[in-house]
Structure 1
Amino acid sequence: MDEIVKQAMARWPNVPNCYGWLALDRRGQWRMRNEFAQQHGLSGDPIRHDALVGFIERNYVQDARGGWFFQNGPQRVFVSLAYAPWIVRLHEGRLTTTTQRPFALEACHADEHGNVVLAGKVEGLSGDAARTQAALLHDHDLDAFSSACTWHGEACGAVLGVFHHAGRDIDIEPIVEDEVPKRFGFVRMPEPEAEPG
């Protein structure tokens, strides 16, 4: 986390959290969602300012409830996730997040819609976030992924095929999309905590 962010948090400790205004889409693009976008279920405008994107990515962390947020000075800006908190690219046999962090693969899944969900550790995270994370494989890399796999045809079973990656054979296991957040401990659409009552 940036030092200037830590200083702002100490200076203004009780700034309200922000929900619904920042999203991470299925291709790893950060998006600003104004009230109109939120009310109409739109994805919002892509953030194209490199310095702002870098600031968001350096200060992107998870809270104890599983919500991912961007610590914007003293304010937590919670992120609406289109699928997972990380989007991973497969390039020349290497897996990296769209935030350019190496991704150490531990397991591989495919959901009922053909999405490839990778489980592993994202380099550079600390605390609870250093545990195994779920990442969606970027859809532009599905051909490269498929070329690196041996599939078991149309068979339904515990293993759909094998992903040959970095000298290892990793089983491709089925998963249901709705199970992904529960299994990997994150919240797609964080909401304010309920007032005690």
Structure 2
Amino acid sequence: MDDIVKQALAKWPNVPHCTGWLLLDRRGNWRMRDDAAQAAGAPGEPIRHTALLGFINRNYEADATGQWFFQNGPQRVYVELGYTPFVVRLARDDVSGKLMLTDQGGAAFEPAAAYLDDEGGILFTDRSTPARAAVLHDHDLDLFSEHTDLASDGQSGDFRWRDDEILKLEPLRKAEVEKRFGFVASPAARVAAGTTSS
């Protein structure tokens, strides 16, 4: 978290939280959702400002209940998730030829486990505690397939992450992802249902 954010929190500790205004979509784009977008259930406008994107990514965290938020100075802006709290891109390093995963902020994501959901989505969890859940950007499915041996059942297999490291591809249902990995996809829906943010 940026020092300027910590200072603002110390100075104004009781600023009300905000929900519904910020979305991380299925492709890792941050989107601003004004009143009209929220009323229409639309994803909102993509944020393109490089410095603002960096600020959001540096100050993106989860609370104790699994709700992800962007700490905007003294105000906590809870994030609506298009799927998981992180979206990763898969690429091959130009020098070493090794596969790399990076999250929507450009940070390295070291996978500990891989999953295939019942709609064909690929997910990873990392080695942090608690583990972070990320969905693979759909533009990278071909590269992922080149390094995967899918079992005959079409629901499991092996992902060759490194020459000496194979991740078992475990099946799971998309409807169970949020609960299984302990995050809240829609803090705004929780507030509307009468559950307060912590």
CA distance in 2, matches of 1:151, 1:13: 51
* Structure 2 counterpart of 1:161, one-letter code: G
> Which residues of structure 1 form unaligned runs of 5+?
123-129
Superposed counterparts of 1:135-154, under 5 Å: 135-153=134-152
Q: CA deviation at 1:131?
A: 2.0
RMSD across aligned C-alpha pairs, in angstroms? 1.4
Superposed counterparts of 1:153-164, under 5 Å: 153=152, 155=153, 160-164=156-160
1:104 to 2:101 alignment? no
1:95 to 97, 101, 115: 101
> Which residues of structure 2 form unaligned runs of 5+?
93-98
SS in 2 for 1:178: helix
CA distance in 1, matches of 2:195, 2:85: 23
CA distance in 1, matches of 2:2, 2:168: 38
Query: TM (normalized to structure 1)?
Result: 0.90
Partner of 1:18: 18
Superposed counterparts of 1:21-60, under 5 Å: 21-60=21-60
Superposed counterparts of 1:115-126, under 5 Å: 115-121=121-127
CA distance in 1, matches of 2:185, 2:127: 19
Partner of 2:161: 165
SS in 1 for 2:144: helix
Number of paired residues? 185
Runs of 4+ aligned structure 1 residues displaced above 2 Å come to 191-195
Partner of 2:173: 176
Query: TM (normalized to structure 2)?
Result: 0.89
Q: CA deviation at 1:73?
A: 0.5
- The farther-off stretch of 165-174 and 60-69 is 165-174
Structure 2 CA distance for partners of 1:171 and 1:32, relative to 1, 3 Å: same
